[in-house]
């Protein structure tokens, strides 16, 4: 058996799609699990849509996911001279031929031959495309590691074009040449490429090279069963990063989209994924990408982070997405930053959500008129005033002491906890959502808590 060599070959026509990221992950897991090589090849032959910015965004997405590659990134476009050499070899050997037939010519020929695959004749004229000679009989067999044997009748294939009349080669020819010359042993990709596989096998047969083994992954769908698209939420790695997901959680979730662990294990680190992953346990049905499940998993990973790592991840996220917030966070005392992370760690599911929950510790309360109108009613004034006095008189200002003081107010006034706690929450944050109220007050500190509640009491008309 040759050493495992797999490749990930994205087209740089946009951001790295979640489906592409899963393909990259599966290839990476195979390479790492077998001490093989993970080759990165950029299929940039579409010169109008391929941009350097898209290439860099794909590379950055892979780096963020911590999917390191062993070779590359190779540019398919830059390999054009080698493609031309192999093309000439096939023409000289008679496995391919120039043919000036137009689309209409091919259509007419097929009608005259009962719908059989088009077979042309070599022509030395200018303006001819180059076609591969396809056998008239027999089958091209795709032995798929996920789908089993898939047979294609050769007689139904046209002698298909492998190079345009201007000499530039087409996708299936370039891919076949590159996979052969990079000694790829397994091609793992989405099943939208399945129809390309027999053509690439026919090219490799003509080249006289041993083809790789193939595995075609089922595509990803949204929770509604439709093809995954922007209507389902974040569909690119870049969007997930901006939303505050952790790379470890994204890797874990993507790995489980179509692959099963056989024992219902859900949270799996990179080392265990490498050890356990195999194509044999990838299913044939479309996998469902549900961002709500990813959020849950990300929350679990975030709760496992050491506090200093949690703080670092939040600082990095803010620096990338909200420089003003990042500056306020970084200028705050270390104790305040740590306290913020500690009170939110059990609640937040993404890094983006963390800042929304703890920003009250680093800036004035937000202006949320709806929260003020619904919660800060005239009836809330006596309860809020009583809470202020209880907090001012509390012997301590840790969460336990704060809880004792505020629950005494609830009991003394015969109120529901929410009637006391929500006005306090609005007073200190400006919103109705925060980490635990006792922990939030302790992190804010007695002096600032008093000042904010006093300010909140001023505009509330007596009941």
List the catalytic residues. Answer: 230
Query: What is the DSSP secondary-structure string of 126-189?
Result: TT-EEEEPPPSSSEEEEEETTTEEEEEEGGGS---EEE-TTSPBPHHHHHHHHHHHTT--EEEE
Cα 334 to Cα 432: distance, rounded to the nearest angstrom: 26
Query: What is the chain's length?
Result: 463
Instruction: Look at the alpha carbons of 315, 318, 323, 324 in this order and tell me if their dihedral is positive or negative.
Output: negative
Spatial CB neighbours of 216, under 8 Å, sequence gap ≥ 6: 144, 146, 147, 189, 190, 191, 193, 194, 197
Query: What is the DSSP secondary-structure string of 314-337?
Result: HHHHHHHH-HHHHHHHHHS-HHHH
Q: Please name the residue ranges forming H helices in 69-137.
A: 80-93, 103-112
Spatial CB neighbours of 197, under 8 Å, sequence gap ≥ 6: 142, 214, 216
- Tell how many helices (H) and how many strands (E) occur in the chain: 20, 12
Cα 403 to Cα 247: distance, rounded to the nearest angstrom: 37
* 202 and 140 Cβ atoms separated by less than 8 Å: yes
Cα 400 to Cα 415: distance, rounded to the nearest angstrom: 20
H or E segment and range at residue 20: helix 18-33
Spatial CB neighbours of 201, under 8 Å, sequence gap ≥ 6: 140, 142, 176, 211
Whose CA is closest to 80, among 177, 185, 5?
177
Q: Is 341 exposed, middle or buried (0-12, 13-18, 19+ CB in 10 A)?
A: buried
Which residue do the tokens 């007419």 mark? Answer: 108
């Amino acid at each position: 058996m040759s050493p495992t060599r797999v490749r990930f070959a994205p087209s740089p026509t946009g951001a790295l799609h979640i489906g592409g990221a899963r393909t990259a992950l599966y290839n990476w897991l195979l390479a790492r699990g077998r001490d093989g090589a993970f080759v990165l090849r950029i299929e940039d032959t579409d010169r109008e849509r391929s941009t350097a910015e898209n290439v860099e965004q794909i590379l950055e997405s892979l780096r963020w996911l911590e999917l390191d590659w062993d070779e590359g990134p190779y540019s398919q476009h830059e390999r054009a001279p080698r493609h031309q050499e192999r093309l000439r070899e096939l023409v000289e050997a008679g496995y391919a031929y120039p043919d000036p037939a137009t689309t209409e010519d091919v259509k007419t020929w097929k009608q005259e031959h009962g719908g059989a695959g088009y077979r042309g004749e070599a022509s030395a004229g200018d303006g001819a495309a180059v076609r591969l000679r396809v056998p008239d009989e027999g089958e091209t067999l795709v032995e798929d590691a996920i789908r089993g044997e898939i047979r294609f009748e050769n007689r139904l294939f046209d002698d298909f074009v492998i190079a345009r009349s201007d000499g530039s080669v087409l996708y299936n020819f370039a891919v076949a040449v590159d996979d052969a010359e990079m000694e790829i042993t397994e091609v793992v990709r989405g099943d939208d490429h399945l129809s390309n596989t027999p053509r690439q096998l026919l090219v490799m047969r003509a080249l006289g090279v041993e083809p790789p083994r193939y595995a075609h992954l089922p595509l990803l769908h949204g929770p509604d069963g439709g093809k995954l698209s922007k209507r389902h939420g974040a569909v690119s790695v870049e969007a997930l990063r901006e939303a505050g997901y952790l790379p470890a959680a994204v890797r874990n979730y993507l790995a489980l989209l179509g692959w099963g662990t056989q024992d219902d294990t859900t949270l799996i680190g990179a080392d265990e994924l490498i050890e356990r992953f195999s194509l044999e346990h990838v299913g044939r049905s479309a996998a469902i990408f549900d961002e709500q499940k990813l959020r849950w998993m990300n929350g679990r990973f975030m709760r496992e982070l050491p506090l200093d790592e949690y703080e670092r991840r939040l600082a990095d996220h803010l620096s990338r997405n909200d420089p003003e917030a990042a500056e306020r966070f970084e200028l705050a005392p270390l104790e305040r930053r740590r306290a913020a992370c500690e009170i939110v760690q059990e609640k937040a599911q993404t890094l983006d959500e963390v800042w929304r929950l703890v920003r009250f510790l680093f800036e004035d309360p937000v202006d949320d008129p709806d929260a003020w109108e619904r919660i800060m009613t005239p009836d809330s004034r006596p309860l809020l005033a009583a809470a202020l006095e209880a907090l001012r008189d509390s012997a301590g200002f840790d969460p336990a002491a704060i809880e004792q003081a505020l629950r005494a107010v609830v009991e003394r006034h015969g109120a529901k906890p929410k009637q006391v706690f929500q006005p306090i929450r609005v007073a200190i944050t400006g919103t109705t959502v925060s980490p635990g109220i006792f922990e939030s007050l302790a992190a804010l500190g007695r002096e600032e808590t008093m000042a904010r509640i006093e300010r909140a009491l001023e505009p509330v008309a007596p009941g």
